[in-house]
Amino acid sequence: MKLYIAKASTGANGSYKQVVVSNAVDKIEQPRWVCIKMLEIVYVTYVTTLIHILVSNPYAMKKYLFILFAFLVALNSFGQVKRPLPVIDMHLHAIGADDQGPPPVKVGAPFAYFGYAEPKVNYGETFIGALKTGAWNTVSISSPLTDDELKQQTLAVLKERNIYGVLSGDMTKVRQWKATLPDRIINAVYWDFGILKHDKLDVDSLTKLFKSGEFKVFGEVAIQYEGISAADPAMEPYFKMAEDLDIPVGIHLGTGPPGVSLLTKSRARLGSALILEDVLVKHPKLRIYAMHAGWPMIDDMIAMLYAYPQLYVDLGVINYILPQKEFDFYLQRLVNAGFGKRVMYGSDQMVWPGAIKIGIDRIEGASYLTKGQKRDILFNNATRFLELNAKQIAAMQ
């Protein structure tokens, strides 16, 4: 997904009260495993001291034996505390820090409202002005200034929260990020017809790429921004390729930046899940997931999930930009309708690494979800969709 497409100068109005959240890993709230290691050192030092006392003064044995035992039990308990439960992010991007406009830019996490436009004023200027000032946001996340900061902060969140990411975007950057953190990155191909023209990524080139094993997922397929439907005949060879090679497809469906049709060739009707129907009929063995869960067209999405059991969705971007009540309403509808086994977590992290934690925390904090439903959304459903084997799953635990 792209939140900022048009190149425009800054110039927005509005002063909605906001809180700015840094993308940097919090320097005060250290990762849990660091705290555990520090406590282990304290306990080991204390226990060592007690043993020294006992050796030098055998008569103190009874006095200190219980204390020593208690410390050993506590130390063992700390040693058994593991890293957070694993999460699979089905929608992660490796792009430049300036991909959403000249940094820093502030995304709403969530937005307070999705703005307004004066017809006589260039909407691109209005929107980039809102990104620069955070005027439309309840809470703002500010983007890093450089490509390296963006990479390092994103990968730090993956390690801290035990996340494995399906990573697409600039292919060179995808490979670089993979080289830096190979065990946590699943390479994916970001694709549209503009990339086909620029990078010559046609069916033959993609077939070779996927057969090499280097890239595992075909997505994000972002043709909606070009005004092209998934049902367009031009897409048929690509879906056939994915079905024949058993390559999962992630297709952008639904949301984009506020005012998306004024910034790109996207049209609201192209966000309906119903456009996938002919694709799924022609390619019944195709593994495909609708990114952004087709928000806001919930009825169309539910109709398609009911009719086509092979269809999955991810919660990319809607899990942090939507107001809390709207996100809860949408996710609860999907789960209440009986599709909790086909909803997957996705961040759609672009240039705001801090958004990853917010999206996960919203799901983990959802009172309407059971513990099992949360684990399905954050991990289990993706392992099934990606067809990970038992060894791969065990390595993530």
Nearest CA-CA partner of 244 in 214, 206, 277: 206
What pLDDT does 117 receive? Answer: 87
Cα(366)–Cα(377) distance, rounded to whole angstroms?
12
For the stretch 105-155, pLDDT in tens is 999 999 999 988 899 999 999 999 999 999 999 999 999 999 999 999 999
Residue 327 has pLDDT above 60, yes or no: yes
Rounded to a whole number of angstroms, the distance between the first and last alpha carbons of the chain is 29
Decide: 363 and 378 in contact? Cβ < 8 Å. Answer: yes
Decide: 187 and 201 in contact? Cβ < 8 Å. Answer: no
Decide: 90 and 346 in contact? Cβ < 8 Å. Answer: yes
What pLDDT does 208 receive? Answer: 98
Least confident of 27-31, 97-101, 177-181, 352-356: 27-31
Cα(142)–Cα(147) distance, rounded to whole angstroms?
14
Mean pLDDT of the chain: 87
3-state helix, strand, coil in the chain (%, to 5): 50, 15, 35
What pLDDT does 6 receive? Answer: 40
Q: How far is CA 346 from CA 191, 286, 343, 392, 397, in A?
A: 18, 20, 10, 19, 19
Q: Which residues pair with 289 in a beta bridge?
A: 250, 312
Nearest CA-CA partner of 94 in 201, 205, 171, 11: 171
Helix (H, G, I), strand (E, B) or coil at 119: coil
Residue 392 has pLDDT above 80, yes or no: yes
For the stretch 148-201, pLDDT in tens is 999 999 999 999 999 999 999 999 999 999 999 999 999 999 999 999 999 999
Least confident of 38-52, 83-97, 280-294: 38-52
b or e along 30-40 (b: 16 or more beta carbons within 10 Å of the residue's beta carbon)?
ebeeeebeeee
Query: What is the phi/psi pair of residue 319, to 5°?
Result: -80, -5
Task: Please report which confidence band the pLDDT of residue 5 belongs to, taking 50, 70 and 90 as the band edges.
Answer: very low
Residue 234 has pLDDT above 50, yes or no: yes
Q: How far is CA 293 from CA 150, 249, 299, 323, 343, in A?
A: 26, 14, 11, 16, 8
Separate counts of helices (H) and strands (E) for the chain? 17, 11
pTM of the model: 0.83
What pLDDT does 98 receive? Answer: 97
Cα(1)–Cα(224) distance, rounded to whole angstroms?
10
Per the document, the length of the chain is 397
Task: Please report which confidence band the pLDDT of residue 51 belongs to, taking 50, 70 and 90 as the band edges.
Answer: low
Residue 295 has pLDDT above 80, yes or no: yes
Tokens 């390690």, residue? 159
Cα(306)–Cα(276) distance, rounded to whole angstroms?
13
What is the pairing mode between strands 106-108 and 139-142? Answer: antiparallel
Cα(113)–Cα(358) distance, rounded to whole angstroms?
18
What pLDDT does 56 receive? Answer: 62
Stretch 21-41: mean pLDDT, rounded?
45
Residue 68 has pLDDT above 90, yes or no: no
Residue 238 has pLDDT above 60, yes or no: yes
Tokens 């390619």, residue? 283
Cα(279)–Cα(118) distance, rounded to whole angstroms?
39
Cα(363)–Cα(375) distance, rounded to whole angstroms?
9
- Calculate what percentage of the chain has a pLDDT beyond 70: 79
What pLDDT does 299 receive? Answer: 98
Helix (H, G, I), strand (E, B) or coil at 39: helix
- Measured CA angle at 156 (ends 395, 394), to 5 deg: 5
Least confident of 10-24, 64-78, 104-118, 125-139: 10-24
Q: How far is CA 247 from CA 22, 25, 287, 302, in A?
A: 36, 34, 7, 24
Task: Please report which confidence band the pLDDT of residue 14 belongs to, taking 50, 70 and 90 as the band edges.
Answer: very low
Nearest CA-CA partner of 382 in 345, 339, 334: 345
Residue 22 has pLDDT above 50, yes or no: no
Q: Does domain 86-396 have CATH number 3.20.20.140?
A: yes
Would you kindly state where each structural domain of the chain is located, as residue ranges?
Answer: 32-80, 86-396
Q: How far is CA 227 from CA 163, 232, 265, 268, 350, in A?
A: 33, 10, 5, 10, 21
Task: Please report which confidence band the pLDDT of residue 24 belongs to, taking 50, 70 and 90 as the band edges.
Answer: very low
What pLDDT does 18 receive? Answer: 36
What pLDDT does 116 receive? Answer: 87
Least confident of 39-43, 170-174, 386-390: 39-43
